[in-house]
């Protein structure tokens, strides 16, 4: 089996992705020194703690059910705080569980493009997180994928399994060290949501203006299962291209995608969400809020495919332009393949309304203050139904971003 996976990966090692700028993978290094394990997150360097905190990582691990922390190619910390949860590197998990091969590249095709190929051929760990049957995580599990070496390629493969009747919340913060200028992050994430289980996955990205990012994510949701995906990107990035997909294969399975994007500088953001409604009673919702400033470009995609007569899906995209040079492309797609499926969408892109600015300015606010208030309202985490704990963290992160306008 693994020989066949390797063969497919090698065949796709030069295959360009359908979307996003093409990258020369040889420009990024895979050479790095192994880093020692730590016994607690407070042992991280000061700048590492600051960067991790800015993407939702709780250094003291309060109100967390567990933690996974990887810097460059080294897993430096793993901690499980609740019985019934498993947290380890995928490399370690493959050695421990022979059955894990049945999940390896089952949701995401290994030959999708040269980025999935590199993640297989030159994998540098990633996390394995599993909730055992019936276990309900009291607090979120947190994971941090950190790049501290300039010019490095980080190729991680994550596997998340919520066994039957379990509930799992996961916060992943992906970021770089303060002195990292260039880098590449390839992140493969495969989710398996079993019968009557639920997963809430919240990913916060804080990269740099010369960092390229290529996540490849897919979820398979079984009967009465729920998969919720929240994605936040408020900081500059050279290029980001991701198009996660959910397969609702079980009766009454549900999924929702919530995305908040803030493009600045020359950032190129191509972010989409795709759902295949395969089983009876499956439901999906996709909500995107995007703001483009300076010379940034944002492609906000959404694709719903109804494959059963009793399926419903809705997607919504709203964009706000803050510059004459910025661009937002809203690309909604609806594909009905069964008579009786119900799919709908709405999309709108525009500028800040002058009457809104004038109203706030007439109340004593400066133009900058008024603009900041409108942006905060537009990107308000309340609109996407985040868990209270994460919602408060996102608001704090957004406050810092808006202050830098």
pLDDT of residue 404: 55
The number of residues in the chain equals 405
Using 50, 70 and 90 to split pLDDT, how confident is the model at 160?
very high
Q: Are residues 258 and 400 in the same domain?
A: no
Please enumerate in sequence order all residues whose Cβ is within 8 A of that of 361, keeping only pairs 6 or more positions apart, or say none. Answer: 367, 370
pLDDT of residue 286: 95
Q: Among the three residues 311, 326, 353, which one is the final residue of a domain in this structure?
A: 353
Rounded Cα distance, 78 and 180, in Å: 24
Q: Which of 9-18, 48-57, 160-169 shows the lowest mean pLDDT across its residues?
A: 48-57
Q: Are residues 309 and 379 in the same domain?
A: no
Count: domains in the chain? 2
Q: Are residues 167 and 101 in the same domain?
A: yes
Say if residues 192 and 220 touch (Cβ distance below 8 Å). Answer: yes
Rounded Cα distance, 168 and 166, in Å: 7
Question: Can you tell me the mean pLDDT for 242-252?
Answer: 98
Could you read off the pLDDT of 280-309 as tens digits, one per residue? 999 999 999 999 999 999 999 999 999 999
How many other CB atoms are found less than 10 A from the CB of residue 316? 18
Q: Which domain holds residue 214?
A: 2-353
Say if residues 285 and 313 touch (Cβ distance below 8 Å). Answer: yes
Q: Are residues 347 and 358 in the same domain?
A: no
Q: Are residues 208 and 69 in the same domain?
A: yes
Which two structure tokens, joined as six digits, stand for 46?
A: 């000061």
Which two structure tokens, joined as six digits, stand for 39?
A: 């016994």
Q: Are residues 137 and 12 in the same domain?
A: yes
Using 50, 70 and 90 to split pLDDT, how confident is the model at 398?
low
Pairing of strands 74-80, 66-71: antiparallel
Say if residues 247 and 278 touch (Cβ distance below 8 Å). Answer: yes
Decide: helix, strand or coil at residue 124: coil
Q: Are residues 193 and 70 in the same domain?
A: yes
Q: Are residues 307 and 327 in the same domain?
A: yes
Please give the share of the chain, as a percent, with pLDDT higher than 70. 95
Could you read off the pLDDT of 310-365 as tens digits, one per residue? 999 999 999 999 999 999 999 999 999 999 999 999 988 888 777 777 777 777 77
> Interior CA angle at 328 toward 326 and 331, to 5°?
165
Phi, psi (rounded to 5 degrees) for 332: -90, 140
For residue 267, pLDDT beyond 90: yes
Average pLDDT in the chain: 92
Element (H, E) at 218: strand 210-221
pLDDT of residue 205: 94
Ordered alpha helix ranges (H), 97-224:
114-121
Say if residues 267 and 20 touch (Cβ distance below 8 Å). Answer: no
Rounded Cα distance, 170 and 269, in Å: 23
Q: Are residues 238 and 168 in the same domain?
A: yes
Q: Are residues 395 and 277 in the same domain?
A: no
């Amino acid at each position: 089996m693994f020989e066949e996976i390797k063969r497919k990966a090698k065949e796709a090692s030069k295959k360009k992705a359908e979307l996003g700028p093409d990258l020369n993978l040889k420009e990024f290094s895979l050479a790095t020194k192994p880093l020692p394990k730590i016994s607690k997150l407070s042992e991280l360097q000061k700048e590492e703690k600051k960067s991790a905190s800015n993407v939702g990582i709780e250094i003291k691990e309060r109100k967390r059910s567990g933690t996974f922390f990887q810097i460059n190619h080294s897993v430096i910390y793993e901690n499980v705080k609740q019985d019934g949860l498993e947290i380890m590197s995928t490399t370690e998990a493959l050695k421990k569980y022979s059955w894990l091969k049945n999940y390896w590249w089952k949701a995401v095709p290994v030959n999708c493009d040269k980025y999935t190929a590199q993640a297989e051929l030159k994998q540098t760990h990633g996390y394995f997180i599993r909730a055992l049957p019936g276990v309900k995580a009291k607090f979120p599990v947190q994971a941090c994928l950190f790049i501290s070496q300039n010019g490095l390629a980080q190729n991680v493969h994550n596997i998340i399994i919520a066994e039957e009747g379990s509930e799992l919340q996961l916060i992943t913060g992906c970021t770089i060290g303060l002195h990292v200028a260039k880098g590449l992050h390839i992140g493969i994430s495969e989710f398996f949501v079993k019968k009557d289980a639920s997963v809430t996955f919240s990913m916060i990205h804080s990269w740099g203006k010369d960092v390229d990012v290529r996540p490849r994510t897919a979820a398979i949701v079984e009967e009465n299962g729920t998969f919720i995906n929240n994605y936040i990107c408020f900081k500059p990035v050279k290029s980001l291209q991701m198009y996660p997909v959910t397969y609702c294969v079980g009766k009454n399975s549900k999924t929702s995608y919530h995305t908040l994007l803030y493009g600045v500088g020359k950032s190129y953001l191509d972010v989409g969400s795709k759902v295949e409604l395969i089983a009876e009673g499956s439901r999906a919702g996709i909500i995107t809020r995007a703001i483009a400033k300076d010379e940034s470009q944002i492609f906000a995609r959404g694709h719903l495919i109804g494959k059963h007569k009793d399926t419903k899906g809705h997607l919504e995209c709203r964009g706000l332009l803050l510059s004459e040079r910025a661009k937002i492309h809203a690309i909604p797609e609806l594909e009905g393949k069964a008579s009786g499926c119900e799919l709908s969408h709405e999309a709108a892109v525009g500028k800040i309304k002058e009457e809104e600015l004038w109203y706030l300015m007439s109340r004593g606010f400066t133009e900058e203050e008024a603009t900041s208030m409108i942006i905060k309202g537009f990107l308000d985490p309340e609109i996407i139904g985040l868990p209270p704990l994460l919602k408060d963290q996102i608001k704090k992160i957004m406050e810092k971003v808006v202050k830098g306008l």
